[in-house]
Amino acid sequence: MASRKTEKRSTKRDKRSTRKNKRKGTPWTDLVKKVHMEMKRKDKNASLGDAMKEASKRKNEMKQ
């Protein structure tokens, strides 16, 4: 019986792993990523916090 329980557990793990990454990003996260990449091109030390501040100024660029 122990082997059946182990099989069930591994099956549950398999199902759980297929559920990951089904969420889609929001327009806000896409904008922040875009701004962050632009800032990184100019300055390698640009932080994500700085990108978020800049993105908040450029909210009208978001796709809706």
Arithmetic mean of pLDDT over the chain = 80
Instruction: Say how many CA atoms lie within 13 Å of 5 toward its Cβ.
Output: 2
Domain boundaries, the chain: 25-64
Rounded to an integer, the average pLDDT of 41-54 is: 95
Higher-confidence residue of 6 and 49: namely 49
Between the alpha carbon of residue 43 and those of residues 31, 37, 46, the distances in Å are 18, 10, 6
pLDDT score at 61:
81
Q: What is the pTM of this model?
A: 0.60
> pLDDT value at position 24?
81
Q: List pLDDT tens digits, range 29-41.
A: 999 999 999 999 9
What is the pLDDT, as a whole number, of residue 38? 96
